[in-house]
Amino acid sequence: MAETPIVTELTATALAEKIRTRTAQVGVVGLGYVGLPLAVEFAKAGFQVTGIDISEPKTRRVNAGDSYVGDIPSATLAPLVESGRLRATTDFAAVRDLDTINICVPTPLRKTKDPDMSFIVSSCQEIARYFHAGMLVILESTTYPGTTDEVVLPMLARPGLEVGRDFFLCFSPERVDPGNPQYQTANIPKVVGGVTPACTEMGRLFYAQALERVVPVSSTQVAEMVKLLENTFRMINIGLVNEIAMMCGRMGINVWEVIDAAATKPFGFMPFYPGPGLGGHCIPIDPFYLSWKTRQAGIEARFIELAGYINGQMPQFVADKVQNALNDLGKPVKGTRIHILGVAYKKDIDDLRESPALDVMLLLQRRGAVVSYSDPYVPRVALDGLDLQSAPEESAAAADCVVIVTDHTCFDYAALVERAPLIVDTRNALKGFRSERIVCL
């Protein structure tokens, strides 16, 4: 472990001055869809930024100015690398020279729906080897309330070092929305809460140098809870509208028309939309961090569990919808060619994490269907018992049934409606088209 530098009363003042003058050495641990955009914003703001990632291929691509994150064009990344503002490494020894570190590593769920903290723990173990006085550490990985104080702080604590005086520790929830052209890292308000008020102020000062708006809160627990509330709100409301979609399906009511009409109310209603299931790293996962934490406190998170159950049933609902649509044409699922249009978890991105398309494909495959797919963003699907190459979009018309699971903007829906014998639309992508061959969710 590195020797701890001598602490003086000027530690906070010196760090704050480095941040204000943008001479602080900034570090970002985890160069994924959260970490790389954050590193880019601070490099653009004039800081020297070091990205640390255990993936050698990722660090090699960053150092070559070759972006693998959709929201960061290589044309944006390359000049920052060439100017020396941004570099990447797999060596945590770089922490010795850093003044600030943002931890942006994955926080998945185990199969038991318990939090998997291994990435946070392993990152903090490495950081602790080179940790020194005068540092600002900010955890951004989504987690349960209490993680920063109960897990991260003890790993960084040193005899003679006082948090809020000699080093600074905060939590700031990532709010990245991949593929969103309007809201990205720079202009999404940044919530930050520290272990102490001095930590919060240091975190606020740091983010204010590169991001448009910073929202300080009173503690790390409040900041941790903010992210869980945001995604639990979405998960529960999506679960509600998915249940409404199932009800409307049974009653022969067009759920999309219902939502559009309800959305004309100027108060008291916010439209959410049904779909084939939840995808991505946040909404299907984050609420279960809250559910797990509340169980530790003896509280049952009934809304979360119920919404999770309903959302988890949607791929089955889609598979049943496809089977019923084929039955109406006198065709069985077994042996029928079913083409999936779009497999990413949301439109216009390449992210497959938790994508409901995978469940839909597996369910149809298990019922005997011959499954194929088209997705210009995902050239191959090789997981969960599937191993398929993306087919040209035009091949969809040769299938017995096309299922729109992800409504990429680039798809030619007019041509699809003209040529496909049967379409099951789970995203209302064909709104405005009229055909007896279209079956809506």
Q: What is the pLDDT of residue 8?
A: 53
- Indicate the Cα dihedral angle 149, 153, 158, 161, nearest 10°: -60
CA distances in angstroms from 242 to 165, 286, 373, listed in the order given: 50, 19, 24
Kindly state the percentage of the chain with pLDDT values over 90.
80
441, pLDDT greater than 50: yes
7, pLDDT greater than 80: no
Q: Give the closest residue to 317 by CA, choosing from 420, 247, 406.
A: 247
Contact 248, 85 (CB under 8 A): no
Q: How many Å apart are CA 254 and CA 312, to the nearest integer?
A: 22
Q: What is the pLDDT of residues 163-198, one digit of tens each?
A: 999 999 999 999 988 888 899 999 999 999 999 999
3, pLDDT greater than 70: no
- Name the pLDDT band for 213 (thresholds 50, 70, 90): very high
Q: How many Å apart are CA 138 and CA 192, to the nearest integer?
A: 9
Phi, psi of 372 (to 5 degrees): -135, 175
Taking residues 125-153, report their average pLDDT: 95
Q: Is beta strand 86-89 parallel, antiparallel or unpaired with respect to 100-103? A: unpaired
- Name the pLDDT band for 283 (thresholds 50, 70, 90): low
Supply 307's token pair. 């919404």
1, pLDDT greater than 50: no
Q: What is the pLDDT of residue 378?
A: 95
- Name the pLDDT band for 368 (thresholds 50, 70, 90): very high
First to last CA, the chain: 58
- Name the pLDDT band for 354 (thresholds 50, 70, 90): confident
Q: How many Å apart are CA 301 and CA 139, to the nearest integer?
A: 25
Supply 328's token pair. 């109406």
Q: How many Å apart are CA 32 and CA 112, to the nearest integer?
A: 25
Taking residues 25-35, report their average pLDDT: 97
- Name the pLDDT band for 297 (thresholds 50, 70, 90): confident
Q: Is 104 a catalytic residue?
A: no
Q: What is the pLDDT of residues 215-268, one digit of tens each?
A: 999 999 999 999 999 988 999 999 999 999 999 999 999 999 999 999 999 999
Which is more confident, 156 or 283? Answer: 156
Kindly state the percentage of the chain with pLDDT values over 70.
96
Q: What is the pLDDT of residue 110?
A: 73
Taking residues 379-396, report their average pLDDT: 90
Phi, psi of 387 (to 5 degrees): -150, 90
Q: Give the closest residue to 405 by CA, choosing from 354, 336, 365, 346.
A: 346
Q: What is the pLDDT of residue 397?
A: 87
Strand partners, 339: 372, 402
The full set of domains in the chain, from first to last, is 11-218 (3.40.50.720), 233-440 (3.40.50.720)
Angle at 321 (CA atoms; ends 316, 324), nearest 5 degrees: 125
Taking residues 91-118, report their average pLDDT: 89
Point out the catalytic residue in the list 104, 124, 199, 282. Answer: 282
3-class secondary structure, 403: strand
Q: What is the pLDDT of residue 105?
A: 96
- Name the pLDDT band for 322 (thresholds 50, 70, 90): very high
Taking residues 7-30, report their average pLDDT: 90
Contact 277, 359 (CB under 8 A): yes
pTM of the model: 0.89
CA-based radius of gyration for the chain: 24
Supply 218's token pair. 């009173």
Q: What is the pLDDT of residue 2?
A: 45
